[in-house]
A and B are shown apart, each in its own frame.
Chain A
């Protein structure tokens, strides 16, 4: 039997297993919107741990991480750096967010902000920005999945068919099972990804160089700049510290406020469960170390691979591994794509209805109708992203970088929500708009990109300045309302 058929069979077997896990988990939550979007706030530590890990680590980490290490050396370390502190704000804000969600019925991020600042318009604005961020991110995951199938079949299955097959499975289990489907499949996919990353990350340096130490010693001798931070830029010249540091900073700010991960705070069974998940998250993050080893293993052994993101499949298919192992690798790459794609799809549909359609157009929407609309939108958004991924030829990376700059603008809003009672609705909206405008301008005018500092950093600075100035220039919000949100202002238990 040809190798490609065995590899394809292993990959399709993984897809079937994902589908079964996703469908089997559907009966665990109630048939309400809260059940579909937040799993009835009943998720335990293990599922939450894998949801957080697997939905954060996408096709970018699995294919792009080794690609960066291969082509840009130590520049790739920034991916490891920002995750170190990215979730820490959740440890302190998370229990408060979960408590407010339980009391006031939130299941999305924008519901929290819209309630704090008493603004349906803010909710709509956040929903639109979230969708602008989600769609290119989802398109990247879809093309990544299609690409895996194309590689394993030696080009016999086109990218569009592979993406259709993988995301057909995702659509079915997200449509039927909502966040419970996302949670259980992410657990399955997360275990798969971690096992594969550690296995390949330690095996490849051993196989090609005799170990991790000899691999780095060989690279240090042949190309020392690869191992000295901040590594190399996309042009092959040394990267600037401004670009490296701002990439870390903007990623830290954006990390915890991506709406599809943020809304998982509401799914936790208890505050202790949420905190435990955040505490243990770095053990998932550590899997980036072997992922980086995979990229470094190709530097001297497989020079000239272009694009660099192909280094992982190139190495795996070039060293004579048994086809079953190659199939497992392909399934791992699919797991990385699908475990992020399903969370994005679920969040995009939920956000569109909960944060845009309901507050602005149909405040009287009944719960059952709302759930059905979210399910319908899962299909519509999935089809739209698929069509754009296959037929539209746009620069996804540029869109994604821009959307990361946009999403990071939510961080000052989060701080103002909980830490600054004087922040007003006008201040919050004006700050966000200023942040978006500055991010767009700085992104598209290269002359403004001093020292390679990311556009989103300037956006955050403008956001904070405008939010403070406009808030101080407008009347404060109702003190009793604000006290329900801001740290240190809660009414004492038993007080009227």
Chain B
């Protein structure tokens, strides 16, 4: 048995593999950015943004960017599906 793990199903184009690879890498980076040793670099009060301490703003920005990345991937998949069907 070939026991090597595969992260993606077969039959994907090179472009699809790149996009899925980039998104997976992005979320792995986000996971580590939420804790030590990355978060301590942004854990202070200043700069204050929209009245909030930076320790909170940092997390809100990560949440918002993560949302946009996944939304972008979802829209991209939708466009590809429509293109395949037509």
* Nearest-neighbor residue (CB-CB) of A79 within chain B: B59
What residues of A have a CB within 8 angstroms of the CB of B63 in the complex?
80, 83-84, 282, 285-286
A216 touches B7 (CB 8 A): no
The B23-75 residues at the A interface (CB cut-off 8 A) are: 24, 27, 30-31, 34-36, 39-40, 43-45, 48, 50-53, 55-56, 59-60, 62-64, 66-67, 70-71, 73-74
A91 touches B70 (CB 8 A): yes
Q: Is residue B2 contacting chain A, with contact meaning CB distance below 8 A?
A: yes
Stretch at the interface among A108-116, A177-185, A242-250, A323-331: A242-250
Min CB distance, A328 to chain B, in Å? 26
B6 touches A488 (CB 8 A): yes
| Given the contacts A81-B59, A419-B5, A479-B1, A211 and B51 also touching, CB distance less than 8 Å | yes
With A and B bound together, what is the CA distance between A272 and B67 in angstroms? 16
B66 touches A228 (CB 8 A): no
Interface string of A478-496 (1 = CB under 8 A from B): 0100100011111000000
With A and B bound together, what is the CA distance between A252 and B24 in angstroms? 15
What residues of B have a CB within 8 angstroms of the CB of A279 in the complex?
67, 70-71, 74
Most buried by B among A84, A248, A285: A84
Q: How large is the interface on B (under 10, 10 to 19, 20 to 34, 35 or more residues)?
A: 35 or more
A74 touches B35 (CB 8 A): no
* Nearest-neighbor residue (CB-CB) of A84 within chain B: B63
A77 touches B70 (CB 8 A): no
With A and B bound together, what is the CA distance between A227 and B34 in angstroms? 16
With A and B bound together, what is the CA distance between A479 and B2 in angstroms? 9
With A and B bound together, what is the CA distance between A276 and B78 in angstroms? 11
With A and B bound together, what is the CA distance between A81 and B51 in angstroms? 20
The B1-30 residues at the A interface (CB cut-off 8 A) are: 1-3, 5-10, 24, 27, 30
Most buried by B among A227, A244, A276: A227
B43 touches A230 (CB 8 A): yes
| Given the contacts A84-B66, A241-B40, A242-B36, A212 and B51 also touching, CB distance less than 8 Å | yes
Residue among A84, A422, A488 making CB contact with B3, cutoff 8 Å: A422
With A and B bound together, what is the CA distance between A91 and B8 in angstroms? 13
* Nearest-neighbor residue (CB-CB) of B30 within chain A: A85
Min CB distance, B21 to chain A, in Å? 12
With A and B bound together, what is the CA distance between A81 and B57 in angstroms? 11
With A and B bound together, what is the CA distance between A211 and B5 in angstroms? 52
What residues of A have a CB within 8 angstroms of the CB of B7 in the complex?
419, 487-488
| Given the contacts A476-B3, A479-B1, A74 and B56 also touching, CB distance less than 8 Å | yes
Min CB distance, B13 to chain A, in Å? 15
Most buried by A among B6, B48, B56: B56
What residues of A have a CB within 8 angstroms of the CB of B24 in the complex?
92
B70 touches A278 (CB 8 A): yes
With A and B bound together, what is the CA distance between A230 and B59 in angstroms? 12
Min CB distance, B84 to chain A, in Å? 14
A422 touches B1 (CB 8 A): yes
* Nearest-neighbor residue (CB-CB) of A229 within chain B: B43
Min CB distance, A474 to chain B, in Å? 13
What residues of A have a CB within 8 angstroms of the CB of B6 in the complex?
419, 486-489
What residues of B have a CB within 8 angstroms of the CB of A77 in the complex?
55-56, 59
What residues of A have a CB within 8 angstroms of the CB of B8 in the complex?
487-488
A227 touches B31 (CB 8 A): no
Q: Is residue A82 contacting chain B, with contact meaning CB distance below 8 A?
A: yes
What are the 4 A-B residue pairs with the smallest beta carbon separation, nearest first?
A: A213-B51, A488-B6, A245-B35, A229-B43
For the A-B complex with A487-B5, A488-B10 known, give 17 more contacts whose Cβ atoms are closer than 8 Å.
A80-B60, A84-B34, A85-B27, A212-B51, A213-B48, A213-B51, A216-B48, A241-B35, A244-B35, A245-B35, A245-B39, A272-B78, A276-B74, A285-B63, A292-B56, A421-B2, A476-B3
Residues of B within 8 A of A (CB): 1-3, 5-10, 24, 27, 30-31, 34-36, 39-40, 43-45, 48, 50-53, 55-56, 59-60, 62-64, 66-67, 70-71, 73-74, 77-78
